[in-house]
A and B are shown apart, each in its own frame.
Chain A
Amino acid sequence: NAGVMQNPRHLVRRRGQEARLRCSPMKGHSHVYWYRQLPEEGLKFMVYLQKENIIDESGMPKERFSAEFPKEGPSILRIQQVVRGDSAAYFCASSPSIGRANEKLFFGSGTQLSVL
């Protein structure tokens, strides 16, 4: 049973380009979370999605960032017109249910985004 799969592992973009990060949740999981980890900082929640629905995007920057979790295929975190401050590790997590406080989240290995 494969875990949460994220790709690519490393992504290099120049300022102004678009970054697309992919996340395939664990089999049987229909809830996906995206987190951002800046150097020497903890994980910061960005967005919570269920299939075809964005449930909570309170942690997403208002501009340039978007996320989707289509009926078929992986969840996508899209960053348009990247800037150097977007350089970070982006982690995806999945859970089988609604994600109560003590829900165990299963994290992927992350995508390290570097903006030149």
Chain B
Amino acid sequence: QQQVKQSPQSLIVQKGGISIINCAYENTAFDYFPWYQQFPGKGPALLIAIRPDVSEKKEGRFTISFNKSAKQFSLHIMDSQPGDSATYFCAATPYQTGSARQLTFGSGTQLTVLP
């Protein structure tokens, strides 16, 4: 019940295309969902996060969509660029009672954006 399932494992997109990464969870106590971006040889960095009081959050070309009833959330990267090539991790934790150390991470999606 603690798992966060992430798909696809790898994704190749042409420059200018839309990249979509999906995550699903089972633990209904989860109500904070951040996404982390990790470039090769670097540590993960927080990209964007959402709470379920909204169904969508947008920051620039990055959008999180959230479906509470399906217990799914996804990251959309619009107008994907080669510089977006990285590994993306979704994560989840309870917001009020949880903490950063209780983040449950997905297994990651390696995104490659072709020039």
A positions within 8 Å CB-CB of B: 4, 6, 33, 40-45, 48, 56, 91, 93, 95, 98-105, 107-110
Q: How far, in angstroms, from A105 to B105 measured CA to CA in the complex?
A: 14
B positions within 8 Å CB-CB of A: 4, 6, 9, 32, 34, 41-46, 49, 89, 91, 93-96, 98-108
CB-based contact B44/A91 at 8 Å:
yes
Q: How many contacting A-B pairs (Cβ < 8 A)?
A: 69
Contacts of A108 in B (CB 8 A): 43
Q: How far, in angstroms, from A57 to B49 measured CA to CA in the complex?
A: 26
CB-based contact A102/B95 at 8 Å:
yes
- Classify the interface of chain B: helix, strand, loop or mixed: mixed
Chain A residue at minimal CB-CB distance from B6: A42
CB-based contact B43/A45 at 8 Å:
no
Contacts of A33 in B (CB 8 A): 100-101
The residue from A4, A95, A98, A101 contacting B93, defined by CB atoms under 8 A apart: A101
